[in-house]
Structure 1
Amino acid sequence: MIKRFIIYLLLFPAVVSAQINTERVMAIGRNALYFEDYVLSIQYFNQVVSAKPYLYEPYFFRALAKINLDDYQGAEVDCSAAIDRNPFVVNAYQIRGLSRIKQNKYDGAIEDYTKALSYDPENVGVWHNLALCKISKNDYTGAEHDLSKLIALSPQYTKAYLMRAEVSLKQKDTIRAMKDYDLALTVDKYDADVWSSRASIKLQQGKYKDAEADYDQATYLNTKNSGNYINRALARFHQNKLQGAMEDYDVALDVDPNNFIGHYNRGLLRAQVGDNNRAIDDFNFVIKMEPDNLLAIFNRGILRSQTGDYRGAIKDYTAVIKQHPNFLAGYYNRAEAKRKIGDIKGADLDEFKVMKAQLDKRFGLDKGKKKTKSDKTRKKSDKDMENYGKIVVADDSEAEQKYKSEYRGKVQDKNVEIRLEPMFALTYYEKSSEIKRDLKYHKYIDDLSNSGAVPKRLLITNMEAPLSEKQAKAHFASIDERTSEIVKHPNDATKRFARSLDFYLVQDFTNSIEDLTQAINCNASFFPAYFNRSLIRWKQLEYEKSEEQNEATEAKSGSNKIDIRVPEYNIVKSDLDKVIQLAPDFVYAYYNRGNVLCALKDYRSAIADYDKAISLDPNFAEAYFNRGLTNIFSGNNKKGISDLSKAGELGIVSAYNVIKRFTEQKQ
């Protein structure tokens, strides 16, 4: 009955808001925020705001959740409310500044960042955003001043060199920009953005071979940036490396299947090498994206004619001529297609139009525009029909967009670092992945799902998905339903387990662990309860570590020394020990225990657990990845790189980045 009352409070906060335990609800909300369950976290923060509207924290953290959901106006309002209640919180100015940037309110953002720096003059993220705001306002002198301060404050921060190079480029000073790109590479040669930025300048300068070499590095370090492949294709095209260029377009379109430039240019190159049917497929895609793209329609017409589809070709040529009645290539090609289908009269009329125009030109009667200097490329916005056969390059505004989008300031962002693949959980929801990996399966878990003991199919995954608002409401309601069932069947372990999953999914870890403990008391051999309890305790430790890290950073001391609580990690490990004892074929317990042992720096034992996991499942990509990193942590780079290579082969693309870093370090 106590738990039923707790759920009543959660479901009807407006009625009894003053009676809720705001500290506990706030903690659950922050927990949900940390694990990127933004919609759910807002529901918890709403309860705290309703109960204690004078506190700044629920407004601030609700703003963080909203900004991650792209509700920039709502985030700004919440940050303002937080600042009204406590004007000394630097992060509130930082997040409000970011939300204002997203609404193009640069003056307001500059005010926020200036105020934040008055409280925290060494905040790298604030200096970064302040400089970008000034670049957006074309205040290059102010931006350069801020960036020089940022570089003096943090000389290892490569983004500052990139931004200062951007300022130089906007002032047409390519030499200074190149110096900053070179400086950035001396600081961090593993930053893909630096390589691609320097390559883009070399591309503009016509240094195609050098640009290709820089894009080689950029694509190696970041395999998910389609723009780098598109640009390397352009560098290769200018060197007549058509096969290499097409390969780059293939990869770019694997990464970004809707890339306009990739499809258009690949269509042109396929046409050049006689791959006409697949070239038509590319132009069909472009025309589906842009039905009025006459250059693509004309190119498709040429290809249709070459493949014998003369009526289709005539239809395309006619669409172009209707909009451009003086486009002679249209009449010439249509005449040829008409003659192929026996329309001699129509062909003669089109040829007469071409001949008349040529005579007018010869005798100076053609008042049309003069042809400009020939080039092999055209801007995407260039709609001149005479340029139908030219390779497309991005407009300048699109090329610059990369810098405008790289604002920083999401306080909950995790450090970008080399880290183990995450723990596996039993849950109902999984993120979709670009790379399809093997479905994780265990017969006992499958039988448990099929038994009806849980309302949805259980998944074994380490890519958990956050709840939607609808799903969150459903699980709050489910908790109440499960409570009624537990009252009737207090000794049923599976009913306790089912409710623990609901609590877990709404980020109420305390009640979830309590249910799992009760499930174990009901049935000591029910290993899924031990498995999920170990996972939740692990997550609690990870969250606590993150909070300590933030506090240490704010205090400017001890930020690199995080206290690992050995006894608490051993409690996590003991639950996994029990799972392995009860279900020695449950491969995910060995994998998770390996992660725990890595946290305890017991690398030898961790490797033994990953060995066992791989022996049970030879295609366990995550186990190869983590064993590879653990071998490297132990000083065995050769074995580590071999495992990482296997992990990459099995679908963990980031393994290749790690391989490059540690291969070069070894050399």
Structure 2
Amino acid sequence: MRKILLILLLLAAVGPHRETKAQLNKAYFFYVGQNFLIDSKYQDAIEVLNILLRVDSTATEGYFLRGIAKYNLDDLLGAEQDFTLAIRQNPVFTTAYQYRAITRSRLGNYDDALKDFQEAIDLRPDRPGPYYSRGVTFLLSQQFEKAIADFTTFIRYDNKVSDAYLNRGTSYLYMKDTTRALEDYNQGIRTNYYDPNGYNRRGSLYLSQKKYDLAKQDFDRAIGYDSTFIPAYFNRALVYSNTRRPVDAIEDFSRVIELDSTSALTYFNRAILRTQIGDYNKALEDYDRVALYSPNNVLVYYNRAGLYAQLGDYDAAIRDYSRAIELYPDFANAYLNRSSLRYATKDLKGSRSDKETADRKIAEYRSKLNDSTFSIYADTSRQFNQLLSFENNFTDEEYQQVNAKSADIALLPLFKFSLAQPDSTRNAEIPQQFQPYYSEEAERFKKQIGLPLLKWVNRDSDVPPDSLIAFDAANGDSIRTGSDSWQIYFKRGLSQSLIKQYTSAISNYTAAIDRNPSNPFLYLNRSTTQSEMIDFVSSIDNSFQRIAIESDPANRLKTQSTRTYNYDEAIGDLNKAIKLLPDFAYSYYNRANLYCLSGQMSEALEDYTRAIELNPQFGEAYYNRGLIQIYLKDTHKGCLDMSKAGELGIQQAYKVLKIYGQPGNK
């Protein structure tokens, strides 16, 4: 309610004359939007800036500020679009070029990012910021000499930023100049004595040089200044492991897991150490976690198979070796080990076949020893139980610190007429001219029903249960005492659906339709109730699962079901509603949802698109269309839709963007 009152105040500040709105109140909108950004209230900032941009579509700074808000919500595509709009309004907007370049760099589009940085530098060569940001982009794109040049230029302008020294030191390190790298790390620490990152970088260098005492001192300092700094705990665990202190290493890895419970890399390393000290059962638990969070990593199954073999569970070990081979068919070690286990389980034919395959893989490997592209997994002399470093490729997905399964990402639900408290619906208090969508027919229908709490919503009713029961009883009494209007049957259908009496609700909606067959909203509510009844039945059936995102982004969206449910009658009602009222956006949205649940994705996309054409501010339709496009592996378009949904107030969109809007999750 506080947010709605704030928006009302902003609207009041706009004033009555449309032509003067932007001129008189632009600074006020900027002030409120900037304050929200300062307070890290990014979604609130977007709502306020949307009002500004609706009033004045040429407000350059409005697009820029909204781009910053989106960037901080991990909506990188949306941020890029807004910075582009700001530049289109003002082609010499230096900061917009810089921020668009940073955004493009995070998206992995280094070429365009570097062009933007150059534009910003050409416009204002005396500003140090673009040099630093471009240096980071050069570092990420492995152009280390250019990165060093930019960080050096930045330091010439501003020598008080420790990260500039640390990044330049890392660039030197990649060029194998450890002396200059160490000098820069030392200077970075002197510049900001309390920054744990400096100690961690220097400690990592000492660790690579096997100067374990110096490395541990630096990691201890980093943890002393920030007890939640994950890299320092992780790296200190590597020091303990290399100095034969596995118990201390396990303790540090456990601390990392406390801070990030989805870190597959850390579970993997802890499993190796637990195996080394003979704690096999806990090691097995760790490998199970790794398989959950990183299901396509071949080393997980290979190492776990070895552990199963030690525990005497040959069948489980063979399954894991088979999975490792499935993921990497050239893995000679896996064939050899599976061969031994098959021999032990009297599968002589399988054992012989595996041995022959392994010998062939080894021969191929030895013939290509000079070919650096040939996989290390064919090298039977290689050890696979070594700890992996924090920078290992294994971490690409694990350190997103996002678990899609916990994000509870699914289609947003159907719309219907329901009972809701006045302040429980989005934009309920905003004046009509600022409502994103208005239907004269829907307003007329509400007046015909005459219920003050009747709202068009897509969420459960927040009216107390005892009030719903009393409302239903009153409707039943009216029908029993002779009331026969379509309105009373609609009310009874509504009240019966709200107390989950779906069969009776559908019967009452049908009675209302018999008395008023040309009213589209009666068909809409009956359709929604039919769908809710199917969902209720399906919730009891464990074999059914709604469309949702799995924990591994590579698996995209899946519908897992052994039983299908028929939405034809519900879709039929929506067809009738659309025929009676063809320009009502929500009918297409609802039908798209049901098409989606029926597996008709192309039809669903068409209907979501039609809903958006009729209502360009339809955030829920953008969200659901984006979700379907991700399901169909058109991730770029899906994330653009998610960006628009987030801009229009759908908070769940940022959960999806955090998973799918990042490079590597396409």
Q: TM-score, normalised by structure 2?
A: 0.50
1:539-558 equivalences under 5 Å are none
Aligned pair count reads 396
1:185 aligns with 2:181: no
Query: Residues 447-492 of structure 1: CA distance to partner in whole angstroms, max 9, x if unpaired?
Result: xxxxxxx999xxxxxxxxxxxxx986467599x9xxxxxxxxxxxx
Q: Paired residue for 1:229?
A: 233
AA at the equivalent of 2:337 = A
Q: Paired residue for 1:387?
A: 383
- Tell me if structure 2 keeps the 8 A contact 1:381–1:395: no
Residues 163 and 399 (structure 1), Cα distance of their counterparts in 2 relative to 1, 3 Å cut: farther
Query: Residues 332-365 of structure 1: CA distance to partner in whole angstroms, max 9, x if unpaired?
Result: 34545x3xxxxxx44x77887899999x99xxx9
Runs of at least 5 residues in structure 1 that lack an aligned partner in the other structure: 339-344, 374-379, 403-431, 433-453, 457-469, 481-667
1:218 aligns with 2:222: yes
Residues 15 and 314 (structure 1), Cα distance of their counterparts in 2 relative to 1, 3 Å cut: farther
Q: Paired residue for 2:277?
A: 273
Residues 81 and 288 (structure 1), Cα distance of their counterparts in 2 relative to 1, 3 Å cut: closer
Q: Paired residue for 1:157?
A: 161
AA at the equivalent of 2:244 = N
CA distance in 2, matches of 1:124, 1:455: 52
CA distance in 1, matches of 2:155, 2:142: 20
CA distance in 2, matches of 1:112, 1:243: 50
1:284-363 equivalences under 5 Å are 284-317=288-321, 319=323, 323=329, 324=331, 327-336=335-344, 338=345, 345-346=346-347
- Tell me if structure 1 keeps the 8 A contact 2:318–2:338: no
Report the Cα offset of residue 68 of structure 1.
2.0
Residues 330 and 157 (structure 1), Cα distance of their counterparts in 2 relative to 1, 3 Å cut: same
User: Secondary structure at the residue paired with 2:135?
Assistant: helix
1:97 aligns with 2:101: yes
Give me the CA root mean square deviation.
Answer: 4.6
CA distance in 1, matches of 2:215, 2:299: 28
Residues 288 and 212 (structure 1), Cα distance of their counterparts in 2 relative to 1, 3 Å cut: same
Q: 1:174 aligned to 173, 178, 187, which one?
A: 178
Residues 275 and 113 (structure 1), Cα distance of their counterparts in 2 relative to 1, 3 Å cut: same
1:45-64 equivalences under 5 Å are 45-64=49-68
User: Secondary structure at the residue paired with 1:387?
Assistant: coil
Runs of at least 5 residues in structure 2 that lack an aligned partner in the other structure: 370-374, 399-405, 407-420, 435-666
Query: Residues 266-302 of structure 1: CA distance to partner in whole angstroms, max 9, x if unpaired?
Result: 1111111111111110111112234454433243334
Residues 61 and 137 (structure 1), Cα distance of their counterparts in 2 relative to 1, 3 Å cut: same
User: Secondary structure at the residue paired with 2:388?
Assistant: strand
- Tell me if structure 2 keeps the 8 A contact 1:302–1:333: no
Q: Paired residue for 1:43?
A: 47
CA distance in 2, matches of 1:192, 1:94: 27
Residues 63 and 334 (structure 1), Cα distance of their counterparts in 2 relative to 1, 3 Å cut: same
Report the Cα offset of residue 202 of structure 1.
1.8
Query: Residues 179-215 of structure 1: CA distance to partner in whole angstroms, max 9, x if unpaired?
Result: 1112222222221111111122222222233222222
Residues 131 and 367 (structure 1), Cα distance of their counterparts in 2 relative to 1, 3 Å cut: closer
Q: Paired residue for 1:496?
A: none
Residues 371 and 17 (structure 1), Cα distance of their counterparts in 2 relative to 1, 3 Å cut: farther
Q: TM-score, normalised by structure 1?
A: 0.50
AA at the equivalent of 1:288 = L
CA distance in 2, matches of 1:270, 1:296: 15
CA distance in 1, matches of 2:167, 2:74: 24
CA distance in 2, matches of 1:205, 1:172: 12
CA distance in 2, matches of 1:355, 1:126: 58
1:248 aligns with 2:244: no
AA at the equivalent of 2:253 = Y
Report the Cα offset of residue 9 of structure 1.
8.8
Query: Residues 312-351 of structure 1: CA distance to partner in whole angstroms, max 9, x if unpaired?
Result: 3444355557755773333334545x3xxxxxx44x7788
Query: Residues 479-534 of structure 1: CA distance to partner in whole angstroms, max 9, x if unpaired?
Result: x9xxxxxxxxxxxxxxxxxxxxxxxxxxxxxxxxxxxxxxxxxxxxxxxxxxxxxx
- Tell me if structure 1 keeps the 8 A contact 2:342–2:350: yes
CA distance in 2, matches of 1:301, 1:133: 41
Residues 239 and 50 (structure 1), Cα distance of their counterparts in 2 relative to 1, 3 Å cut: same
Report the Cα offset of residue 240 of structure 1.
1.0
CA distance in 1, matches of 2:170, 2:193: 19
Percent identity, aligned pairs only? 28
CA distance in 2, matches of 1:321, 1:99: 39
